[in-house]
């Protein structure tokens, strides 16, 4: 074969790959909500009456508009709330929970001022100005307390977090507000999540606990099975209280990172997140119900028996998950993930720490419109760019394909992602591997005879794509 034919063939192949990549990139299901977020998004609250999405976190700007940790989207523009937190020069203090109580928005987190007022970690918004809730929440170690979650129960606002006192009342980690004053509830250790279920208050912390009006009781079934790990999210779904977080059946828990309680028995949601599907980050940070569907968000790569990148949905019988690639660069690799979920005008909204989705628009905040399918295959999501070529052999392969990884994928990264697509761009495999592996062996015996594309991505956003064939 002449050099001209070789060069022409290579040029056609690379052109085809580039065109395939670009066309598939346009298939990404997620859309930005007008602009980039300057830092982490931790919480949402959807006001369905006013069609407003409230957003809280550690950011200073969204789309270049100064919000200082809290603001709202009205469907067409971002709006500030009296300029948010005052001390936001370098990094904001943090808003971790937003809800509505007695017709006003209530924001909780860790701060000592908001708008033009002093407020200790919790304040209410009347539509124009902020107001403190008495003397707020305090902690003997960190001065200001920290609010992690809030829920309205029996016309009272229950607040959970890490604090010693509410106003002048000692009420460690859980307290309640009746609209004019604080009252003591208390719990011995910090509480991550709180929810109202079947007429009682439940708290998520080290295990799941129920408040009987006088004392807290750990939730266990008749075989004394309870959640042995940490609960970070609670929601009510189809008459069950669902807990998500970081716990496993191997430690005696009733599920892997997710479990449902119906008042007597546990449900494991098809085994939840198996070992190897999550790494250093918390597997499930938030849970949300949209109609008859339960959504889970966090940092995981599979759930049940399905590939699921960071977001998954449960239809009552089985899981399916996002096929998108959430990309994060150093130094944010140690805290990447989806932190919060919400429904807005029928769409699924995600917030957290991610820089791009499928190689597209800047991340941190995105919406999946109601017409789009979370579980639809995305395909190769990044446009091609020159770099060292990965090597695969034998090519064609029949049972095993060896992949030699280039130097560019070994530097500045603790993880790598290997993805395989068929000729139509359908994702067939999504596997995270250690950066210390120089030769990775991929089983292909189950692949049909045909042409495939292998993509290797590192978390410094470098990617390489190579074509290989399978023949049986």
In the predicted structure, residue 17 carries a pLDDT above the cut 80? no
Q: Work out the average pLDDT over 89-103.
A: 86
Q: Half-sphere exposure (CA, 13 Å, Cβ side) for 339? A: 25
In the predicted structure, residue 5 carries a pLDDT above the cut 90? no
Q: Which pLDDT belongs to residue 7?
A: 30
Percent of the chain clearing pLDDT 90 (strictly above)? 57
Angle, CA of 357, 358 and 359, to the nearest 5°:
90
In the predicted structure, residue 431 carries a pLDDT above the cut 90? no
Q: Which pLDDT belongs to residue 18?
A: 40
Q: Which pLDDT belongs to residue 4?
A: 32
User: Can you give the residue ranges of every domain in the chain?
Assistant: 31-368, 387-470
Determine contact, residues 95/107, Cβ cutoff 8 Å: yes
Q: Which pLDDT belongs to residue 295?
A: 97
32-41, 100-109, 225-234, 459-468: which has the minimum mean pLDDT?
459-468
Which token pair is 260?
A: 């449902």
In Å, what is the CA distance from 455 to each residue of 277, 421, 462? 19, 8, 10
Average pLDDT in the chain: 85
In the predicted structure, residue 414 carries a pLDDT above the cut 80? no
Q: Which pLDDT belongs to residue 378?
A: 59
pLDDT digits (tens, 9 = 90+) for 241-253: 999 999 998 788 9
Band of pLDDT at residue 374, cut at 50, 70 and 90: confident
In Å, what is the CA distance from 60 to each residue of 36, 76, 329, 413, 455? 11, 20, 20, 28, 35
Q: Which pLDDT belongs to residue 21?
A: 41
Q: Work out the average pLDDT over 117-122.
A: 94
Q: Which pLDDT belongs to residue 389?
A: 57
Task: Name 197's bridge partners.
Answer: 200
Determine contact, residues 246/300, Cβ cutoff 8 Å: no
From CA 283, how far away is CA 296, in angstroms rounded?
Answer: 9
Residue in the block written with tokens 């008495």: 134
Task: Name 256's bridge partners.
Answer: none
In the predicted structure, residue 336 carries a pLDDT above the cut 90? no
Band of pLDDT at residue 421, cut at 50, 70 and 90: confident
pLDDT digits (tens, 9 = 90+) for 353-368: 988 888 776 678 899 8
Q: Which pLDDT belongs to residue 462?
A: 54
In the predicted structure, residue 396 carries a pLDDT above the cut 60? yes
Q: Which pLDDT belongs to residue 3?
A: 32
Q: Rounded to the nearest 5°, which phi and psi values hold at 333?
A: -65, -30
In the predicted structure, residue 24 carries a pLDDT above the cut 50? no
Band of pLDDT at residue 432, cut at 50, 70 and 90: confident
Among candidate residues 220, 229, 222, the one with its CA nearest the CA of residue 261: 220
Q: Which residue has the higher pLDDT, 186 or 325?
A: 186
Determine contact, residues 403/392, Cβ cutoff 8 Å: yes
Q: Which pLDDT belongs to residue 65?
A: 92
Burial code (b: 16+ CB inside 10 Å, e: under 16) for 273-302 equals bbeebbeebbbbbbbbbeeeebbbbbbbbb
Q: Which pLDDT belongs to residue 329?
A: 73
Band of pLDDT at residue 420, cut at 50, 70 and 90: confident
Among candidate residues 28, 19, 32, 84, the one with its CA nearest the CA of residue 56: 84
pTM for the full model? Answer: 0.77
Q: Which pLDDT belongs to residue 231?
A: 97
In the predicted structure, residue 373 carries a pLDDT above the cut 90? no
Task: Name 122's bridge partners.
Answer: 108
**Residues sharing a CB contact under 8 Å with residue 75, sequence separation 6 or more, in sequence order:** 51, 52, 345
Q: Which pLDDT belongs to residue 23?
A: 38
Task: Name 170's bridge partners.
Answer: 165
pLDDT digits (tens, 9 = 90+) for 47-75: 999 999 999 999 999 999 999 999 999 99
From CA 286, how far away is CA 219, in angstroms rounded?
Answer: 20
CB-based burial of residue 127 (10 Å sphere; 0-12 exposed, 13-18 middle, 19+ buried)? exposed
Q: Which pLDDT belongs to residue 142?
A: 66
Q: Which residue has the higher pLDDT, 470 or 371?
A: 470
pLDDT digits (tens, 9 = 90+) for 137-191: 998 876 789 999 999 999 999 999 999 999 999 999 999 999 999 999 999 999 9
Band of pLDDT at residue 277, cut at 50, 70 and 90: confident
Q: Which pLDDT belongs to residue 377?
A: 67
Q: Work out the average pLDDT over 435-451.
A: 86
Q: Which pLDDT belongs to residue 34?
A: 83
Q: What is the CATH T-level fold of the domain 31-368, as seen in this structure? A: Methylamine Dehydrogenase; Chain H (2.130.10)
Radius of gyration of the chain (CA): 24
3-class SS of residue 64: coil
Q: Which residue has the higher pLDDT, 458 or 446?
A: 446
Q: Report the sign of the C-alpha dihedral through residues 32, 35, 40, 43, in that order.
A: negative
In the predicted structure, residue 258 carries a pLDDT above the cut 60? yes
Q: Report the sign of the C-alpha dihedral through residues 271, 280, 160, 95, in that order.
A: negative
Q: What is the CATH T-level fold of the domain 387-470, as seen in this structure? A: Immunoglobulin-like (2.60.40)
Percent of the chain clearing pLDDT 70 (strictly above)? 84
Q: Which pLDDT belongs to residue 334?
A: 63
In the predicted structure, residue 127 carries a pLDDT above the cut 90? yes
Spatial strand order of the sheet with 146-153 comes to 146-153, 156-162, 174-177, 182-184
């Amino acid at each position: 074969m002449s050099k001209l034919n070789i060069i022409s063939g290579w040029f056609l192949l690379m052109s085809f790959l580039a065109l395939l990549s670009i066309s598939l990139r346009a298939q990404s299901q997620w859309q930005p909500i007008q602009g980039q977020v300057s830092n982490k998004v931790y919480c949402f609250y959807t006001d369905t009456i006013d069609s407003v999405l409230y957003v809280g976190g550690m950011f200073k700007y969204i789309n270049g508009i100064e919000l200082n940790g809290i603001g709202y989207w009205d469907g067409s523009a971002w709006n500030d709330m009296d300029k948010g937190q005052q001390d936001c020069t370098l990094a904001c203090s943090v808003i971790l929970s937003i809800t509505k109580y007695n017709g006003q928005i209530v924001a909780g987190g860790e701060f000592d001022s908001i708008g033009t007022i002093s407020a200790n970690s919790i304040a209410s918004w009347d539509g124009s100005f902020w107001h403190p809730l008495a003397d707020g929440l305090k902690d003997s170690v960190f001065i200001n307390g920290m609010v992690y979650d809030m829920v309205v129960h029996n016309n009272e606002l229950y607040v959970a977090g890490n604090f010693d006192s509410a106003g002048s009342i000692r009420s460690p980690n859980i307290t309640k507000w009746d609209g004019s004053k604080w009252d003591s509830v208390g719990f011995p250790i910090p509480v991550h999540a709180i929810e109202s279920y079947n007429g009682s208050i439940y708290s998520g912390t080290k295990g799941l606990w129920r408040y009987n009006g006088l004392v807290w009781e750990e939730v266990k079934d008749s075989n004394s099975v309870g959640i042995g790990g940490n609960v970070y999210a609670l929601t009510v779904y189809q008459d069950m209280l669902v807990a998500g977080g970081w716990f496993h059946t191997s430690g005696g828990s009733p599920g892997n990172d997710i479990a449902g309680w119906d008042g007597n028995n546990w449900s494991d949601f098809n085994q939840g997140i198996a070992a190897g599907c999550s790494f250093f980050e918390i597997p499930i940070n938030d849970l949300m119900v949209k109609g008859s569907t339960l959504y889970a968000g966090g940092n995981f790569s599979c759930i049940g028996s399905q590939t699921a990148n960071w977001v998954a949905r449960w239809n009552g019988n089985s899981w399916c998950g996002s096929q998108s690639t959430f990309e994060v660069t150093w130094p944010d690799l140690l805290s990447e993930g989806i932190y919060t979920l919400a429904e807005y005008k029928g769409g699924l909204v995600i917030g957290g720490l991610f820089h791009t989705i499928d190689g597209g628009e800047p991340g941190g905040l995105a919406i999946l419109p109601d017409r789009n399918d979370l579980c639809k295959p995305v395909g190769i999501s990044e446009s091609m760019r020159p770099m060292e070529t990965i090597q695969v052999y034998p090519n064609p392969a029949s049972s095993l394909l060896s992949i030699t990884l280039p130097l560019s994928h070994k530097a500045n990264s603790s993880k790598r992602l290997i993805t395989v697509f068929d000729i139509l761009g359908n994702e067939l495999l999504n596997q995270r591997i250690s950066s210390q592996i120089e030769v990775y062996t991929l089983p292909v015996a189950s692949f049909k005879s045909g042409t495939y594309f292998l993509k290797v991505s590192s978390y410094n956003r470098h990617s390489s794509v190579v074509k290989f064939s399978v023949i049986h």
